[in-house]
Structure 1
């Protein structure tokens, strides 16, 4: 029960200033969808017109469960049941006068927080750094918040404030997120539908013929989003790079060379990106080999400087 003892030390926050909960929820949702896309043959997750929904999220969670089964013995199952039961009681106690069993949003928020806490407990060793519940665990442990999200603006309309500065595109590609601390009210915000924005970007590359013959520099990509009236307050340059460009490269929907990024439409585009990555790989390899040669006169174990060659033995 060590994990429960850790949670008992957490005091739900009464200060909603400078919290990072919305970024953690965004990272969690994106990680869940990306993980499911990598580990399943789902055509839905590869659809160019994919938009996020709560149903899609739970389908991806189920896919993660199915592809990474956990075999718990009866003793461990009972331990988890007791822990979960104690978590509910402890959270209700921590909320104190701010707990209202008639508040359906609050009940959903408690359920979601505890479900993610248990999943992190069960999967943190199995999935390692790929564990999507690492992000939500940060909300509870570091932000000291209960939390939830919705793709239906009407569901939280009495809680979520309108962002008047938001672009029209962003308004249609937003997910409402809320947090609950030791207060009567909720903290609320919006995050972007990253999957829809990825598809918007791919379609933009396609429509403007940005293939291997007409790549875009990263700064030009940032500007494309600004031209759509998506401000840096809504989506930073770093968000664009880490949440949109890099995953699209990872899933081979876009490629790159020394001149920039481009859509992969055919074998020629694919080969252009391959050549660029191959040249980069050879550059890194030669650098590592030079390190190995310089290390011949050092006191280090020579095997420590030959790890880059071990990959060819696997």
Structure 2
């Protein structure tokens, strides 16, 4: 749930561009939108090893969400949404103050995109819950206090973005430009990797080489898969590969793992093999927490309520 729809009233656009997490939030939003489309749409483009992100692909994927999750509103709700949208525009223009320029195309695009995602985050909160793809983007506004936008066209932000000449040709091609706008004249700007394409590339490689639960790969072997694609460590570090590609694929239940390594989940057998491994880890963690609780009972100063939290998951 998004919570109070009027939280925007307490948002103040930031004057600092030090926090870089807005880029991760935009990336998580893009990936979740494309993941949803991939799971509900047979469009072969989304499953291609040559997939490259584009705004057109993004908007097509977004339409999949709208078409598969229609929202019927009565007239009163429609009017409430119109008023909310108008108030958001007024709030943002007030926050920008002297930095609002109606002739700044990038600024207007950022305002429109920010408000669109704010509205969708609210409208779809009951449908998607914790998996709401719009909540990631909305974090940029509510938590990073930035307006935001992105592009697949490097020339669109050519006056703001600088290319990293150390990157491999593959990675240069799989790059998305992002913008953030706070209460200041300039923009926060940078690049994010087209992580969805890289994840899709890895899944296709694993499927092609039949790395299922009977043939898992150690994490170092996964790194080698990327290095063999001429993706250097200065381009994507081992840590980047693990945190941006491997772990999210596990989170989306596309990769499984056990003590022998990682594997693609294609069958019920693969899924159960990963489940068994995670269940064993879960029991181990639970037993460790129980031992902590039992030890706390022997400490007169311990607040035993603090040591019961692991039982709340039941």
> If the length of structure 1 is used for normalisation, what is the TM-score?
0.78
Contact 2:99–2:184 (CA under 8 A) maintained in structure 1: yes
Question: Structure 1: how far apart are the matches of 2:189 and 2:239?
Answer: 15
Question: Structure 2: how far apart are the matches of 1:50 and 1:181?
Answer: 33
Question: Structure 2: how far apart are the matches of 1:257 and 1:124?
Answer: 33
Q: Secondary structure at the match of 1:147?
A: strand
Q: Secondary structure at the match of 1:134?
A: helix
1:73 aligns with 2:74: yes
Map of 1:95 onto structure 2: 96
Question: Structure 1: how far apart are the matches of 2:249 and 2:9?
Answer: 37
Question: Post-superposition shift, 1:40?
Answer: 3.1
Q: Secondary structure at the match of 1:109?
A: helix
Larger CA deviation: 99-108 vs 165-174 = 165-174
Equivalent residues in 2 for 1:125-204, closer than 5 Å: 125-204=126-205
- Deviation digits for residues 251-301 of structure 1 (CA, Å, limit 9, x no counterpart): xxx66564333568xxxx8587357347548868999xx9xxxxxxxxxxx
Question: Post-superposition shift, 1:206?
Answer: 6.4
Contact 1:210–1:216 (CA under 8 A) maintained in structure 2: no
Map of 2:248 onto structure 1: 243
1:276 to 273, 276, 284: 273
Classify 1:157/1:277 alpha carbon distance in 2 versus 1 (closer, same or farther; 3 Å): same
Contact 2:13–2:182 (CA under 8 A) maintained in structure 1: yes
- Deviation digits for residues 77-107 of structure 1 (CA, Å, limit 9, x no counterpart): 0011011111112211111111111111111
Map of 1:312 onto structure 2: none
Question: Structure 1: how far apart are the matches of 2:281 and 2:241?
Answer: 30
- Deviation digits for residues 210-242 of structure 1 (CA, Å, limit 9, x no counterpart): 645754202321344356203329935211222
Query: In the comparison of the two structures, how many residue pairs are matched?
Result: 282
Classify 1:244/1:222 alpha carbon distance in 2 versus 1 (closer, same or farther; 3 Å): farther
Question: Structure 2: how far apart are the matches of 1:55 and 1:74?
Answer: 31
Question: Post-superposition shift, 1:130?
Answer: 1.6
Contact 1:257–1:273 (CA under 8 A) maintained in structure 2: no
Contact 1:116–1:133 (CA under 8 A) maintained in structure 2: yes
Structure 1 residue ranges without an equivalent (≥5): 291-304, 309-314
- Deviation digits for residues 107-150 of structure 1 (CA, Å, limit 9, x no counterpart): 11100000000001111122101210111111101110000001
Classify 1:116/1:274 alpha carbon distance in 2 versus 1 (closer, same or farther; 3 Å): closer
Question: Post-superposition shift, 1:164?
Answer: 3.3
Question: Post-superposition shift, 1:173?
Answer: 0.5
Structure 2 residue ranges without an equivalent (≥5): 288-310
Contact 1:140–1:146 (CA under 8 A) maintained in structure 2: yes
Classify 1:181/1:274 alpha carbon distance in 2 versus 1 (closer, same or farther; 3 Å): closer
Q: Secondary structure at the match of 1:189?
A: strand
Question: Post-superposition shift, 1:152?
Answer: 0.8
> If the length of structure 2 is used for normalisation, what is the TM-score?
0.78
2:236 to 192, 212, 231: 231
Classify 1:205/1:27 alpha carbon distance in 2 versus 1 (closer, same or farther; 3 Å): same
1:118 aligns with 2:119: yes
Question: Post-superposition shift, 1:19?
Answer: 3.1
